[in-house]
Amino acid sequence: MNGPLIVNALAGLLIVTSLLVTSAGNATRAARLYAAQSLVLVLIFLTLARTHGAHELYWWSVSAFVTKVVLVPWIMLRTLATLPEKEDLPGVLSPAALIVVAALIVGLSCYAVSSVHLAVVDPLKPALGVSLGHFLLGLVCIVSQRNLLKQVFGFCLMENGSHLTLALLAWRAPELVEIGIATDAVFAVVIMVVLVRRIQRSMNTLDVRQLTALKG
Amino acid sequence: MTSMELLPALLLVPLVAAALAFASRWAGAAAKPLVTLIHAVSMTVLLLGTLRLAGELLQVDQIAALHGWMQVDSLGAVFLGLVGVVGFLIGVYAIGYMNYELAHGAIDVGRLCNFYGIFNLFVFTMLLAVTANNVIMMWVAVEATTLGSAFLVGFYGKRSSLEAAWKYVVICPVGVAFGLYGVVLVYSNGVAVLPVVGDASSWTALLFNAQLLDPTLVKLAFVFVLIGFGTKAGLFPMHAWLPDAHSEAPSPISALLSAVLLNCAMLIVLRFGMIAAKAVGPSFPQTLLLIFGLLSVGVAAFFIVVQRDIKRLLAYSSVENMGLIAFAFGLGGPLGILAGLLHTINHSLVKALMFCGSGNILIKYGTPAMDSVKGILKVAPITGALFIAGALALGGVPPFNIFVSEFMVVTAGLAAGHPWLIGLCLLLLTVVLAGLVRMLAATVFGAAPDNVPRGDTGALTLLPMGVLLVAMLVMGIRAPAPVGQLLARAAAQVQTGSQPQIAQAPAPGTAVAPTPDATPAAR
Share of chain B above pLDDT 70, in %: 95
Give CA angle at B488 (B482, B493), nearest 5°: 125
Residue B72 φ then ψ, to 5°: -125, 125
Asked if A177 and B136 come within 8 Å (Cβ–Cβ), the reply is: yes
User: Using one digit for the tens of pLDDT, what is the confidence trace for B481-501?
Assistant: 999 999 999 999 998 887 765
CA–CA min distance A95, chain B (Å): 23
Query: Angle A27-52/A72-82 helices, nearest 10 degrees?
Result: 170
Q: What residues contact residue A57 under an 8 Å CB cut-off, 6+ apart?
A: A45, A46, A48, A49, A167, A171
**pLDDT tops 80 at residue B421:** yes
- What's the whole-model pTM score? 0.91
Q: What is the mean pLDDT of chain B?
A: 90
Give residue B503's pLDDT. 44
Please name which of B325, B380, B387, B324 lies closest in space to residue B355, comparing C-alpha atoms: B387
Q: How far B414 CA lies from chain A's nearest CA (Å)? A: 34
Q: How far is it, in rounded angstroms, from Cα B23 to Cα A8?
A: 49
| pLDDT for the residue B34 | 95
pLDDT at B185 over 90: no
How close B237 gets to chain A, by Cα (Å)?
14
pLDDT at A87: 66
Q: How far is CA A149 from the centre of its chain?
A: 13
CA distance B322 to B227: 14
If you ran DSSP here, which 8-state letter would residue B506 be given? P
pLDDT at A85: 61
pLDDT the model gives residue B11: 93
A177 contacts on B by Cβ (under 8 Å):
134, 136-137, 140, 201
Give the integer Cα–Cα distance in Å for B330 and B413. Answer: 9
Provide the 10 A C-beta neighbour count for residue B110: 13
Let me know if residue A77 belongs to a domain: yes
Q: What is the 3-state secondary structure (H, E, C) of B80-130?
A: HHHHHHHHHHHHHHHHHHHHHHHHCCCCCHHHHHHHHHHHHHHHHHHHHHH
A215 falls within a domain: no
Q: Is B515 a residue whose pLDDT tops 50?
A: no
**pLDDT means over runs of 10, chain A (216 residues):** 80 87 83 92 90 84 90 89 72 82 87 74 80 89 86 89 84 76 84 89 81 74
Q: Are B85 and B37 in contact (CB under 8 A)?
A: no
φ, ψ (nearest 5 deg) of residue B448 = -80, 145
What one-character-per-residue DSSP string does B480-498 give?
Answer: -HHHHHHHHHHHHHHHHHT
Residue A118 touches chain B, beta carbons under 8 Å:
yes
Q: What share of chain B in percent tops pLDDT 90?
A: 73
pLDDT digits (tens, 9 = 90+) for B214-267: 888 899 899 999 999 999 999 988 999 999 999 999 999 999 999 999 999 999
**B311 with B360: CB under 8 angstroms?**
no
Q: State the average pLDDT over residues B389-403.
A: 94
SS3 A214: coil
Question: Which pLDDT score is estimated for B500?
Answer: 65
Using a CB-CB cut-off of 8 Å, the residues of chain B touching A121 are: 188
The rounded distance, in Å, linking the Cα atoms of A43 and B296 is 44
Nearest CA in chain A to B306: A216
Q: Is B187 on the interface with A (CB under 8 A)?
A: yes
User: Is residue B508's pLDDT more than 80?
Assistant: no
Secondary structure of residue B202 in the 3-state scheme: strand
Residue numbers of B between 274 and 313 with CB closer than 8 Å to A: 303, 306-307, 312
Interatomic CA distance for residues A84 and B281, integer angstroms: 58
The answer to whether A124 contacts chain B (CB < 8 Å) is: no
Range of the domain at A60: 3-210
In the three-class reduction of DSSP (H, G, I as helix; E, B as strand; rest coil), residue B72 is classed as strand
Number of domains in chain A: 1
Q: Distance between CA B45 and CA B88 in Å, rounded?
A: 9
- A207 three-state secondary structure: strand
Give A191's contacts in chain B (Cβ within 8 Å): 147, 150-151, 169
Determine, yes or no, domain membership for A216.
no
Nearest CA in chain A to B243: A216
Hey, are the CB atoms on B201 and A173 less than 8 Å from each other?
A: yes
Contact A198 B248 (CB under 8 A): no
In a domain, A194, yes or no: yes
Q: Are A163 and A147 in contact (CB under 8 A)?
A: no
In the beta sheet, which residues pair with residue B309?
B369
- B504 DSSP 8-state letter: P
In a domain, A141, yes or no: yes
Q: Name beta bridge partners: B202.
A: B134
What digits encode the pLDDT tens for the residues B29-70? 889 999 999 999 999 999 999 999 999 999 888 888 888 889
The answer to the question of residue A9 being in a domain is: yes
Angle of helix B215-233 relative to helix B262-280, nearest 10 degrees? 170
Q: Dmax over Cα atoms in chain B, in whole Å?
A: 75
Q: Would you say residue B521 has pLDDT above 60?
A: no
Q: Is B393 exposed, middle or buried (0-12, 13-18, 19+ CB in 10 A)?
A: buried
Cβ burial of B30 (10 Å; 0-12, 13-18, 19+) is exposed
Task: Identify the H or E element spanning B70.
Answer: strand B70-73
d(CA B318, CA B233): 9
Within the 135-164 window of chain A, which residues sit less than 8 Å (CB to CB) from chain B?
135, 139, 142, 148, 151, 155, 158-159, 162
Q: How far apart are CA B205 and CA B418, in angstroms?
A: 34
Handedness of CA A93, A99, A103, A105 (dihedral sign): positive
Question: Which residues on neighbouring strands pair with residue B65, listed in sequence order?
Answer: B70
What ipTM does this complex have? Answer: 0.90
- Domain spans, chain B: 3-497
**Taking residues B73-83, what's their average pLDDT?**
94
Q: For residue B369, list its beta bridge partners.
A: B309
- In which band, very low, low, confident or very high, does the pLDDT at B523 lie, cut at 50, 70 and 90? very low
Write down the pLDDT at residue B505. Answer: 45
Domain assignment present for residue A23? The answer is yes
Question: What is the predicted pLDDT for the residue at A211?
Answer: 79
What's the confidence (pLDDT) of residue B514? 44
Instruction: Please report how the helices B262-280 and B333-365 are oriented relative to each other, as an axis angle in degrees rounded to 10.
Output: 160
**A181–B contact, CB cutoff 8 A:** yes
| Residue of chain B whose Cα is closest to the Cα of A197 | B162
Q: Are strands B70-73 and B62-65 parallel, antiparallel or unpaired?
A: antiparallel
Q: How confident is the model at residue B80 (pLDDT cuts 50, 70, 90)?
A: very high
Which of A140, A138, A110 is closest to A125 using CA atoms? A110
A59 has a chain B CB within 8 A of its CB: no
